[in-house]
Amino acid sequence: MATSKTLAEILQDAELFAHLSPAQLSRVAARSRLVRLAADEILFSHGGRADCFFYLIEGQLKLYRLSPEGHEKVIEIIEPGTTFAETRVFLESPRYHLSCAALADSEVIGIDSRNFRAVLRESPDTCLQLLGELSQRLDGLVNQIDQLTLQNASARVASYLLHNLPQGASQYLLRTSKGVLASRVSVRPETLSRILRQLAHDGVATVDSHGRVYVHDLDRLRALAGALGQRETRGERRFRPHRD
C-alpha cells in the first residue's frame, strides 16, 4: 500500500484541500486516520454516525443501499484520488445515508468532520471548493434520475461504457465486476449479459472475459446512450459527479 508519505502529504494531492495553508493541512491531518480494508470489508453502514468523511488512496469502493428485501443497489463506484461522504460535514448530528464497502483491497484516510469544519471557517476558498463539488454532485444525481426514468436498459449500459471511456481511447479496462456494473445501471445480470451480447453483435462495443472494453463504433455508442454531443467522456470532465 502507498503510505510512505505522511497523511498531510497525501491529502495535499486532493483538490478539496488545495487551498489550505500548510498549517491548516497539518491540523486536518493530525485528526485524520489511515484505514486499510480487505475486499468486501465494510467501511461504514447506512444510518451509522458520520463523524468522518474520506479520501481514497488506493483500491476501489462502492457506495450502495440495501432494499428491505436485502437487494443491493450500487449508487457509485469510488476510484483513487476521490473524497466522498463530504455531504455529512455540515450536519449537526450526521448519519451516513449510504453504505460503503471495498471492491478490492483498499486504503483510505478518514478525516474528522468536526475538525474540518473548524478549518473551513478560516478558508473561504476551501468552502467554495467544497460547495462547487457538492453542486456538481447534485447535477450528477439529477443525471442519474434522468437515466433511470427516461433511458431504457440498453441506453443506461451504453451511457456507463461511454462515461468511463478515456478521451481519445478506444479501449479500457472495466475495473468492476459485471455484477456490480449491473447493479450500478439498475439492470439484472442476465439483462446486462444480453445487452453486451447485442452490442458486440452490432459491432458497437465488446467486453471480453477479462473486463476489457473495446469500443468499435464511438458514434453509435453515443447515439445508443442518447449522448450525441451532450454527454462527456472521462477525459473531458473535471470531477466525478455523484458521491455520498
| 177 & 116 share domain | no
Kindly write down the DSSP assignment for every residue of 45-68, as one continuous string.
-TTSB--EEEEEEES-EEEEEE-T
The better pLDDT of the pair 151, 226 is held by 226
Position 60 scores a pLDDT of: 95
| 157 & 68 share domain | no
Output the pTM of the full model: 0.71
Position 243 scores a pLDDT of: 46
Say if 56 falls within a structural domain: yes
How many other CB atoms sit within 10 Å of the CB of residue 16? 20
Instruction: Give the pLDDT band of residue 123 (cuts 50, 70, 90).
Output: confident
Neighbouring-strand partners of residue 73: 65
Residue 212 backbone class (left: φ over 0; alpha: ψ -120 to 50; beta: rest): beta
Say if 128 falls within a structural domain: no
- From the list 21, 60, 37, the residue with the least C-alpha distance to 110 is 37
What are the pLDDT digits (tens) for 36-63? 999 999 999 999 999 999 999 999 999 9
CATH of the domain at 214: 1.10.10.10
Judged against a pLDDT cut of 70, whether residue 172 lies above it is answered with yes
Position 237 scores a pLDDT of: 36
Residue 47 backbone class (left: φ over 0; alpha: ψ -120 to 50; beta: rest): left
Please give the span between the terminal C-alpha atoms of the chain, in angstroms, as a whole number.
24
Say if 84 falls within a structural domain: yes
- From the list 147, 45, 135, the residue with the least C-alpha distance to 99 is 45
| 158 & 206 share domain | yes
Place of cell 491548516: 24
CA distance 9 to 2: 12
Contact 162, 227 (CB under 8 A): yes
| 112 & 168 share domain | no
Take residue 234 and report the three cell numbers written for it: 472521462
Does an H or E element contain 63, and which? strand 61-66
Judged against a pLDDT cut of 80, whether residue 151 lies above it is answered with no
| 156 & 107 share domain | no
Compute the C-alpha angle 193/173/59, nearest 5°: 110
25 phi and psi, to 5 degrees? -65, -40
What are the pLDDT digits (tens) for 156-167? 899 889 988 999
- The domain tally of the chain equals 2
- Helices marked H in the chain — which ranges? 7-11, 22-30, 113-120, 124-150, 153-163, 178-184, 189-201, 218-224
Position 127 scores a pLDDT of: 75
Say if 193 falls within a structural domain: yes
Structural domain span for residue 205: 152-236
The number of C-alpha atoms within 13 Å of 159 and in the hemisphere containing its C-beta is: 21
Say if 139 falls within a structural domain: no
Say if 134 falls within a structural domain: no
Say if 106 falls within a structural domain: yes
| 112 & 18 share domain | yes
Place of cell 451516513: 96
CA distance 236 to 222: 15
CATH of the domain at 98: 2.60.120.10
Compute the C-alpha angle 141/130/61, nearest 5°: 55
Sheet containing 72-78: order of strands: 42-44, 99-102, 61-66, 72-78
